[in-house]
């Protein structure tokens, strides 16, 4: 909210700007900025003499009195002697242009008269500004008018501070200096007009005042200037007064042209299908949600939000009905939210206005309006002041300060609470405008604000609880550091993606966001692939073709009653596996080097056997498989489809996998040390010729089964097709490591075991043992391997 | 002859030390050990010695022969090494790459570790929330103007993407009761612009501490210690009144700008101060919505944006950098 410092000073004469800017944040009102709207070298001047320019038709020569006498040549028409005007002297900056002394055919003009257009208040002005007669000539603009506008952040609980009066009350509570709020009193008029309220819950108070014989014209310049810098466009003298009083007192007012109202008015919910054309010339369909002010014929205003065109005030208006009311904040908010109408009135009503203010604001406005007040009606539900009973000791305990009952009472009194003591408790009667105060904790905040947040001590907390990092977070941290150690960049990515991305990657319908920000973020991702491919694309465009990236984050799947969300790890690679080296060594990422990363982290972080199941997945080409762990599908791995990469202008192959971390990480158990075996390992190599359709994974599994507990490790060290091997067949060479736990294995035992394995494999896979087993020797190699 | 052998031994040592190349070494070998070499000469002369001296001198001669053989062998391998072509050892080594963390992780980890040190645990909650957890249980009724502070993305009438981490307060108090002390990091979603200083997706860290005597003074003390931990001992903090529906009293904490030491710079907008988090005493209505007696328990809560902390700590001027994951950005963090 914008507030002029000069206006605040009218209520708090001792206040300085620095003091104000220091106090406002301490009270809870953040100062966004202070805007200086002052204009240097502009002065009030009175016209003494007007003569036509002797040589130039249409121009006038003015003799003016300000701090001294000036002569000015002007083309303005609306001038008479004794008019007070605003004179911009040479050196003044007006709309970015510096005023100078100009020569009009032999007569020097020592300045320029200002119009409202030159000050930016209106787009086009009919003539120069004429100041009220009481303004003395020779006063600087900056001494006469508002120049310092404070842009203030007012939190939604403090609707009572959306006014000059509200903010000055707060400041007065801490300065305890001179405070002269506007003098407010209820109107004393005969009863009338006729007003009906359908439901007092919607409208707890409604006052209407009839004023006859009004004259509607232009507001005086100081009012226009003031409204303009508080964000309100000047309209006409009557509407300007209602806005001015709203800014001053926080009570929105609305004036209806009474001659355009048919019958008495009624505050009621709109009927479905009713319509209103608002002051900004918009036609709006209404329904039971909306509270309206209606005459016999239909809506004349949306209550508390905006008026209708039908009873609009204009220069022909002679009789008005001045509305000053209290509307239910929630009802007003439904209208502003539902109809997307943001007005200063709506903003105040939805934050809650002072229930006591309507008659006082009406009377204050009436004093400013030219016209005869006729009658006044005040409909209201009985007003009960809120009372909050609290334990003063609890306030101290809550804030962590030793504060005496007396100090609490003093603070609350400064904020216009009435405080009584009842059985060691205090009972505070809340001012009518403080709709935010309901309980003890609200009282604590009031005490803290005025006592000063700065004065409350800082004490480090004590507590017996031991802080711990949960297992799942420890695992994620471990995973992250392994991957970073392996050369990967950790990425953080948005979970919302575009519909286009869902379709491109073929990853299902996604979870729809009903009110997306833009077309980039319309759905929740169902895979991490689009996120990582976007990172790939960013870096690829910058010439980084060697890419190793991962991200950990949520992946969503539509489900009922609510979508599922799972933590996933996604990993993408491509390009070289290590930096270029002068030796010429170079490897590039391929499917198996990516799978190696997966196997490595699986071996490190889970206890279960990782398996791969071929499966065509839309986002992959050539290599495409599901990752299976403990019999469950936990992810996918493959080479990203060229059709997708092409869309990002990428030509080289890139590989991706993602796994569900919930199924992946939580299988980790605390290690328990098992003494490592002290007997020598025995290695044997076996090579089989098998059909190429048989998967190596299955053979390894079978070898493990046949080998039993003595078989510690099986690796494939060679794969060969070609010369010597029949077509359609492949030779696979396995290195078996036997590790006895209790004693050294004898040669016959080893022989028996390898024969059992080789005949088992031959039988099960129609394989053929290629060579006789090869003894690669006994080794004294203890430990040093992962399993 | 013993005298002669001693002289010979000295001669051999000098000769072998001085030899420069394998050819020279071979010549020496032939001269000393060859069939017509010096050693054989001595052996031939052995027969001419008195019988009683022969074994002693023979033994010495044998030892000398062995010594010469081994010296020649080791000289040979020394000379062979010198033969290998010279390599420039200043050439770079063969190394893989090491990766980089996203700076958000660095900041989040640092914050978690600080609060764990203070006795907090770590909790998580879902990113898809219901209106109840995201709003109503936190004392934000429907059609309350404060909903504007947390404007949300909706997935259905009741389901939304959480607009803050505060729903985790409710879930954890429901599950674990009080007293309790934890932080809850994670992504949150707000309908907001996406530009240098705003993002519709960001990481928040929630903190909650509830017990019988937790006061505003502890709130100040813990958060001040936190600020000093993250930004350095010289940082000053200030608390200003603010408003959040789920805390009362509510506050905002500012720190003296660590970049200009509070003198005023571009980062702090010349004010010398930077707002870094919102906090306050848990509102009794929040306790009531999880069935905890607000007359017996009190506590503090806070929420901070990880991006904001990282932006101040590392002087990052654009929030979008965190989610672009450009290597030129990530390369600077380790």
- φ/ψ region of B60 (left if φ > 0, alpha if ψ in -120 to 50, else beta) reads alpha
Contact A276, A302 (CB under 8 A): yes
Residues in A closer than 8 angstroms to B236, CB to CB, are none
Question: Is residue A224 domain-shared with residue A329, that is, in the same domain?
Answer: yes
| DSSP character at residue A718 | E
Residues in A closer than 8 angstroms to B327, CB to CB, are 489, 539, 542, 544
Which is it for strands A190-191 and A372-380: parallel, antiparallel or unpaired? parallel
**Lookup result for tokens 């700065």:** A454
What SS3 state is found at B190? coil
- Output A560 or A20, whichever has higher pLDDT: A20
CB < 8 Å from A in window 175-214 of B: 179, 181, 187, 189, 191-192, 194, 200-201, 203, 209, 211, 213-214
- Phi, psi values for residue B198, rounded to 5°: -125, 150
Closest-CA residue to A778 (of A665, A684, A645): A684
**What digits encode the pLDDT tens for the residues A162-175?**
999 999 999 999 99
pLDDT band at A772 (very low <50, low <70, confident <90, very high): low
- Output A125 or B108, whichever has higher pLDDT: B108
- Residue at A303 is within a domain: yes
Question: Is residue A224 domain-shared with residue A118, that is, in the same domain?
Answer: no
Distance CA A213, CA A320 (A): 9
What SS3 state is found at B220? helix
Minimal CA separation from A474 to chain B, in Å: 11
Distance CA A664, CA A635 (A): 10
The two tokens of residue B246 are 């789920």
**What digits encode the pLDDT tens for the residues B108-130?**
999 999 999 999 999 999 999 99
What SS3 state is found at A242? helix
The enclosing domain of A134 has a CATH number of 2.40.50.140
pLDDT band at B19 (very low <50, low <70, confident <90, very high): confident
Residue A777 clears pLDDT 80, i.e. is over it: no
Q: Which strand ranges, in their side-by-side order, compose the sheet holding A30-36? A: A2-4, A148-153, A30-36
**What digits encode the pLDDT tens for the residues A455-499?**
999 999 987 688 999 988 998 999 999 999 999 999 999 999 999
Distance CA A594, CA B194 (A): 34
Residues in A closer than 8 angstroms to B95, CB to CB, are 578-579
Residue B51 clears pLDDT 90, i.e. is over it: no
Helical packing angle, B306-313 and B103-117, nearest 10° = 110
Q: Which of B242, B287, B329 would best serve as a mutation to test chain A binding (most A beta carbons within 10 A)?
A: B242
Q: Does B284 touch chain A (CB under 8 A)?
A: yes
Question: Is residue A655 domain-shared with residue A687, that is, in the same domain?
Answer: no
Nearest neighbour of A494 by CB, restricted to B156, B201, B214: B201
| DSSP character at residue A715 | E
- Residue at A458 is within a domain: no
Minimal CA separation from B109 to chain A, in Å: 9
Give Cβ neighbours of residue A759 (< 8 Å, ≥ 6 apart).
none
Q: Which of B249, B279, B293, B301 would best serve as a mutation to test chain A binding (most A beta carbons within 10 A)?
A: B249
A65: β partners: A46, A69
Question: Is residue A208 domain-shared with residue A323, that is, in the same domain?
Answer: yes
User: Which stretch of DSSP H or E encloses residue A51?
Assistant: strand A42-52
Chain B residue at shortest CA distance from A331: B143
B248 is in an annotated binding site: yes
- Residue at A10 is within a domain: yes
Residue spans of the domains in chain B: they are 2-83, 103-330
Residue A773 clears pLDDT 50, i.e. is over it: no
pLDDT band at A780 (very low <50, low <70, confident <90, very high): very low
Whether B187 sits inside 8 A of A398 (CB atoms) is no
CA neighbours within 13 Å on the CB side: how many for A657? 28
Question: Is residue A152 domain-shared with residue A217, that is, in the same domain?
Answer: no
Closest-CA residue to B176 (of B184, B164, B188): B184
Position A784 scores a pLDDT of 38
Whether B328 sits inside 8 A of A542 (CB atoms) is yes
Q: Does B296 touch chain A (CB under 8 A)?
A: no
Contact A556, A660 (CB under 8 A): no
Nearest neighbour of B241 by CB, restricted to A453, A469, A579: A453
Question: Is residue A201 domain-shared with residue A284, that is, in the same domain?
Answer: yes
Contact A553, A546 (CB under 8 A): no
Q: Other CB atoms closer than 10 Å to residue A498's CB: what's the count?
A: 18
pLDDT band at A384 (very low <50, low <70, confident <90, very high): confident
| DSSP character at residue A382 | P
The enclosing domain of A298 has a CATH number of 3.50.40.10
- Output A232 or A670, whichever has higher pLDDT: A232
The enclosing domain of A760 has a CATH number of 3.30.70.380
B304: β partners: B205, B277
Residue A787 clears pLDDT 70, i.e. is over it: no
Q: Which of A27, A334, A467, A563 would best serve as a mutation to test chain B binding (most B beta carbons within 10 A)?
A: A467
Number of domains composing chain A: 6
Position A786 scores a pLDDT of 37
Whether B215 sits inside 8 A of A562 (CB atoms) is no
Q: Does B272 touch chain A (CB under 8 A)?
A: no
Question: Is residue A593 domain-shared with residue A508, that is, in the same domain?
Answer: yes
The two tokens of residue A567 are 């933590």
**What digits encode the pLDDT tens for the residues A570-598?**
999 999 999 999 888 889 999 999 999 99
- Phi, psi values for residue A278, rounded to 5°: -80, 175
Q: Does A491 touch chain B (CB under 8 A)?
A: yes
Residue A507 clears pLDDT 60, i.e. is over it: yes
Chain B residue at shortest CA distance from A577: B96
Cα angle B150, B155, B157 (rounded to 5 degrees) comes to 85
**What digits encode the pLDDT tens for the residues A213-256?**
999 999 999 999 999 999 999 999 999 999 999 999 999 999 99
- Residue at A670 is within a domain: no
Q: Does B64 touch chain A (CB under 8 A)?
A: no
- Residue at A461 is within a domain: no
**What digits encode the pLDDT tens for the residues A52-108?**
999 998 899 999 999 999 999 998 888 999 999 999 999 999 988 999 999 999 999
Residues in B closer than 8 angstroms to A511, CB to CB, are 155
Residues in A closer than 8 angstroms to B191, CB to CB, are 515, 517
Residues in B closer than 8 angstroms to A330, CB to CB, are 142-144
Residue B225 clears pLDDT 80, i.e. is over it: yes
Closest-CA residue to B309 (of B255, B263, B272): B255
User: Which residues span the domain enclosing A726?
Assistant: 681-779
Give Cβ neighbours of residue B115 (< 8 Å, ≥ 6 apart).
A467, B183, B207, B226
The two tokens of residue A651 are 């030509």
Contact A305, A294 (CB under 8 A): no
Helices (H), ranges, A112-236:
141-144, 164-175, 221-229
**Lookup result for tokens 């022909």:** A316
Give Cβ neighbours of residue A105 (< 8 Å, ≥ 6 apart).
A53, A55, A56
What's chain A's Rg over C-alpha atoms?
42
Whether B323 sits inside 8 A of A579 (CB atoms) is no
Position B326 scores a pLDDT of 97
Chosen domain end from A335, A356, A380: A380
What's chain B's Rg over C-alpha atoms?
41
Minimal CA separation from A393 to chain B, in Å: 13
Position A25 scores a pLDDT of 95
Contact A685, A730 (CB under 8 A): no
DSSP letter for each residue of A724-786: TS-TTEEEEEEEEEE--SSSPPPHHHHHHHHHHHHHHHHHHHT-EE-S--EEEEEE---S-S-
- Residue at A601 is within a domain: yes
**What digits encode the pLDDT tens for the residues A604-617?**
887 678 889 999 99
List C-alpha distances in Å: A232 to A252, A333, B152: 13, 21, 30
**Lookup result for tokens 């050439």:** B91
CB-based burial label for A3 (10 Å; 0-12, 13-18, 19+): buried
When pLDDT is averaged across residues A671-688 and rounded to a whole number, the result is 89
Contact B189, B217 (CB under 8 A): no
Nearest neighbour of B241 by CB, restricted to A28, A465, A514: A28
pLDDT band at A667 (very low <50, low <70, confident <90, very high): low
Chosen domain end from A351, A380, A409: A380
**How many residue pairs from chains A and B have C-beta atoms closer than 8 A?**
255
When pLDDT is averaged across residues A725-744 and rounded to a whole number, the result is 91
Q: Does B171 touch chain A (CB under 8 A)?
A: no
A524: β partners: A496, A511
| DSSP character at residue A677 | P
Q: Does B32 touch chain A (CB under 8 A)?
A: no
**In whole angstroms, what separates CA B94 from the centre of its chain?**
23
What SS3 state is found at B23? helix
pLDDT band at A527 (very low <50, low <70, confident <90, very high): very high
CA terminus-to-terminus distance, chain B: 75
CA neighbours within 13 Å on the CB side: how many for A384? 3
Q: Kindly report the average pLDDT of chain B as a whole number.
A: 91
Position B221 scores a pLDDT of 97
Distance CA A572, CA A638 (A): 10
Whether B281 sits inside 8 A of A582 (CB atoms) is no
B301: β partners: B208, B280
Q: Does A575 touch chain B (CB under 8 A)?
A: no
Residue A775 clears pLDDT 70, i.e. is over it: no
What SS3 state is found at A414? helix
Question: Is residue A566 domain-shared with residue A440, that is, in the same domain?
Answer: no
Chain A residue at shortest CA distance from B239: A453
Least confident of A267-276, A357-366, A736-745: A736-745
Position B65 scores a pLDDT of 86
Q: Does A354 touch chain B (CB under 8 A)?
A: no
pLDDT band at B20 (very low <50, low <70, confident <90, very high): confident
Helices (H), ranges, A369-452:
392-399, 405-414, 440-451
**In whole angstroms, what separates CA B141 from the centre of its chain?**
43
Nearest neighbour of A156 by CB, restricted to B192, B238, B243: B243
| DSSP character at residue A415 | T
Q: Which strand ranges, in their side-by-side order, compose the sheet holding A418-422? A: A387-390, A425-429, A418-422
Q: What is the ipTM of this complex?
A: 0.87
Q: Does A368 touch chain B (CB under 8 A)?
A: no
Q: Does A515 touch chain B (CB under 8 A)?
A: yes
3-state helix, strand, coil in chain B (%, to 5): 45, 20, 35
The enclosing domain of A432 has a CATH number of 3.30.56.10
- Residue at A671 is within a domain: no
**Lookup result for tokens 């005007």:** A85
- Residue at A78 is within a domain: yes
- Output B102 or B20, whichever has higher pLDDT: B102
Q: Kindly report the average pLDDT of chain A as a whole number.
A: 92
Residue A781 clears pLDDT 70, i.e. is over it: no
Cα four-point dihedral sign A754, A755, A761, A762: positive
Whether A469 sits inside 8 A of B326 (CB atoms) is no
Question: Is residue A362 domain-shared with residue A438, that is, in the same domain?
Answer: no
Contact A377, A193 (CB under 8 A): yes
Chain A residue at shortest CA distance from B191: A517
A277: β partners: A283
Residues in A closer than 8 angstroms to B326, CB to CB, are 538-539, 542
Whether A454 sits inside 8 A of B115 (CB atoms) is no
Minimal CA separation from B303 to chain A, in Å: 17
| DSSP character at residue A383 | P
Whether B241 sits inside 8 A of A27 (CB atoms) is yes
Contact A362, A324 (CB under 8 A): yes
Residues in B closer than 8 angstroms to A26, CB to CB, are 240-241
The two tokens of residue A175 are 């300065």
Question: Is residue A132 domain-shared with residue A162, that is, in the same domain?
Answer: no
Residue A785 clears pLDDT 60, i.e. is over it: no
Which of the listed CATH numbers 3.30.565.10, 3.50.50.60, 3.30.930.10, 3.40.190.10 matches domain B103-330? 3.30.930.10
Nearest neighbour of B251 by CB, restricted to A157, A453, A483: A453
Contact A782, A678 (CB under 8 A): yes
């Amino acid at each position: 909210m914008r507030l002029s410092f000069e206006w605040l000073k009218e209520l708090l004469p001792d206040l300085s700007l620095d003091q104000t800017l220091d106090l406002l944040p301490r009270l809870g009102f953040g100062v966004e900025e202070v805007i200086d709207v002052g204009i240097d070298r502009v002065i009030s001047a009175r016209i003494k003499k007007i003569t036509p320019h002797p040589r130039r038709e249409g121009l006038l020569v003015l003799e003016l009195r300000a701090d001294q006498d000036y002569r000015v040549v002007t083309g303005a028409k609306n001038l008479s002697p004794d008019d007070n005007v605003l004179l911009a002297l040479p050196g003044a900056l007006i709309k970015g242009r510096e005023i100078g002394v100009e020569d009009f055919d032999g007569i020097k003009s020592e300045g320029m008269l200002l119009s409202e257009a030159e000050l930016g208040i209106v787009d086009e002005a009919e003539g120069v500004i004429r100041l009220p007669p009481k303004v003395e000539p020779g006063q600087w603009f900056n001494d006469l008018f508002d120049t310092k506008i404070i842009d203030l952040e007012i939190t939604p609980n403090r609707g009572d501070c959306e006014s000059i009066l509200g903010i000055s009350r707060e400041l007065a509570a801490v300065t305890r200096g001179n405070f002269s709020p506007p003098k407010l009193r209820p109107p004393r008029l005969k009863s009338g007009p006729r007003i009906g309220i359908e439901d007092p819950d919607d409208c707890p108070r409604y006052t209407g005042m009839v004023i006859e014989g009004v004259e509607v014209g232009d507001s005086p310049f100081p009012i226009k200037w003031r409204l303009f810098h508080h964000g309100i466009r000047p309209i006409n003298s009557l509407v300007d007064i209602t806005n001015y009083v709203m800014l001053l007192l926080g009570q929105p007012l609305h004036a209806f042209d009474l001659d355009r109202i048919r019958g008495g008015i009624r505050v009621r919910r709109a009927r479905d299908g009713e319509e209103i054309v608002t002051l900004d010339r918009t036609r709006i369909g209404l329904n039971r949600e909306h509270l309206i002010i209606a005459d016999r014929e239909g809506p004349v205003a949306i209550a508390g939000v905006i008026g209708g065109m039908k009873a609009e005030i204009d220069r022909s208006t002679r009789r008005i009905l001045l509305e000053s009311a209290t509307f239910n904040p929630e009802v007003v908010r439904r209208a502003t939210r539902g109809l997307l109408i943001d007005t200063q009135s709506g903003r105040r009503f939805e934050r809650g206005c002072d229930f006591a203010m309507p008659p006082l604001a009406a009377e204050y406005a009436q004093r400013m309006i030219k016209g005869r007040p006729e009658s006044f009606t005040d409909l209201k539900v009985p007003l009960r002041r809120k009372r909050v009973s609290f334990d003063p000791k609890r306030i101290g305990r809550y804030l962590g300060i030793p504060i005496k009952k007396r100090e609490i009472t003093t603070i609350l009194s400064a904020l216009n609470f009435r405080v009584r003591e009842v059985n060691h408790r205090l009972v505070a009667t809340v001012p009518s405008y403080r709709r935010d105060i309901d309980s003890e904790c609200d009282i604590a905040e009031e005490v803290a604000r005025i006592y000063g947040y700065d004065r409350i001590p800082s004490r480090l907390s004590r507590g017996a609880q031991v802080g711990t990092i949960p297992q799942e977070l420890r695992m994620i941290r471990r995973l992250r550091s392994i991957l970073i150690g392996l050369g990967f960049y950790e990425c953080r990515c948005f979970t919302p993606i575009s519909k286009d991305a869902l379709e491109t990657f073929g990853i299902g319908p996604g979870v729809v966001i009903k009110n997306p920000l833009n077309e980039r973020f319309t759905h929740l991702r169902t895979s991490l692939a689009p996120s990582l491919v976007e990172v790939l694309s960013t870096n690829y465009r910058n010439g980084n073709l060697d890419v190793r990236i991962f991200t950990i984050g949520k992946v969503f799947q539509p489900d009922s009653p609510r979508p599922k969300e799972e933590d996933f790890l996604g990993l993408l690679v491509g390009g070289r596996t290590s930096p270029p080296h002068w030796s010429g060594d170079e490897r590039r990422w391929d499917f198996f080097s990516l799978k190696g990363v997966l196997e490595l982290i699986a071996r490190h972080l889970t206890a279960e056997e990782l398996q791969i199941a071929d499966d065509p997945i839309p986002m992959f080409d050539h290599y495409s498989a599901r990752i299976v762990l403990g019999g469950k599908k936990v992810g996918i791995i493959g080479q990203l489809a060229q059709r997708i990469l092409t869309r990002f202008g990428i030509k080289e192959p890139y590989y991706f996998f993602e796994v569900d971390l919930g199924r992946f990480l939580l299988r980790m158990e605390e290690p328990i040390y098992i003494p490592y075996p002290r007997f020598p390992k025995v290695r044997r190599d076996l090579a089989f010729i098998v059909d190429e359709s048989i998967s190596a994974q299955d053979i390894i599994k079978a070898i493990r089964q046949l080998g039993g507990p003595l078989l510690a490790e099986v690796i494939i060290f060679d794969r060969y097709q070609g010369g010597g091997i029949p077509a359609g067949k492949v030779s696979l060479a396995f290195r078996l490591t036997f590790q006895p736990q209790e004693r050294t294995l004898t040669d016959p035992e080893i022989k028996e075991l390898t024969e059992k394995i080789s005949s088992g494999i031959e039988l099960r896979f129609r394989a053929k043992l290629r060579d006789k087993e090869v003894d690669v020797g006994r080794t004294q190699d203890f430990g040093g391997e992962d399993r | 002859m013993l005298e002669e052998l001693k002289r010979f031994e000295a001669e051999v040592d000098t000769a072998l030390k001085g030899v420069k190349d394998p050819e020279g070494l071979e010549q020496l070998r032939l001269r000393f050990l060859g069939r017509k070499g010096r050693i054989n000469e001595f052996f031939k002369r052995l027969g001419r010695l008195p019988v009683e001296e022969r074994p002693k001198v023979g033994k010495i001669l044998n030892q000398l022969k062995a010594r010469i053989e081994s010296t020649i062998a080791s000289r040979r391998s020394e000379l062979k090494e010198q033969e290998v072509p010279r390599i420039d050892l200043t050439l770079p080594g063969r190394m893989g790459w090491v990766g980089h963390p996203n700076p958000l992780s660095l900041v989040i980890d640092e914050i978690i570790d600080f609060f764990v040190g203070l006795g907090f645990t770590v909790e998580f909650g879902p990113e898809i929330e219901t209106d109840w957890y995201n709003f109503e249980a936190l004392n934000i009724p429907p059609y309350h103007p404060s909903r504007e502070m947390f404007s949300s993305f909706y997935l259905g009438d009741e389901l939304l993407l959480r607009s803050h981490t505060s729903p985790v307060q409710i879930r954890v108090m429901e599950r674990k009761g009080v007293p309790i002390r934890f932080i809850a990091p994670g992504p949150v979603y707000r309908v907001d612009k996406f530009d240098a200083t705003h993002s519709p997706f960001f990481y928040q860290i929630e903190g909650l501490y509830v017990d019988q005597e937790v006061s505003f003074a502890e709130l100040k003390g813990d958060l001040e210690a936190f600020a000093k931990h993250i930004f350095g001992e010289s940082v000053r903090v200030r608390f200003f009144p603010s408003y959040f529906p789920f805390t009362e009293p509510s506050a905002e904490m500012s720190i003296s700008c660590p970049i200009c030491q509070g003198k005023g710079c571009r980062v702090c907008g010349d004010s010398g101060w930077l707002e870094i988090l919102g906090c306050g005493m848990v509102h009794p209505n929040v306790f009531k919505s999880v069935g905890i007696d607000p007359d017996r328990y009190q506590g503090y809560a806070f929420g901070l944006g990880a991006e904001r902390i990282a932006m101040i700590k590392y002087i990052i001027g654009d929030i979008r950098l965190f989610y672009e994951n450009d290597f030129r950005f990530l390369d600077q963090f380790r």
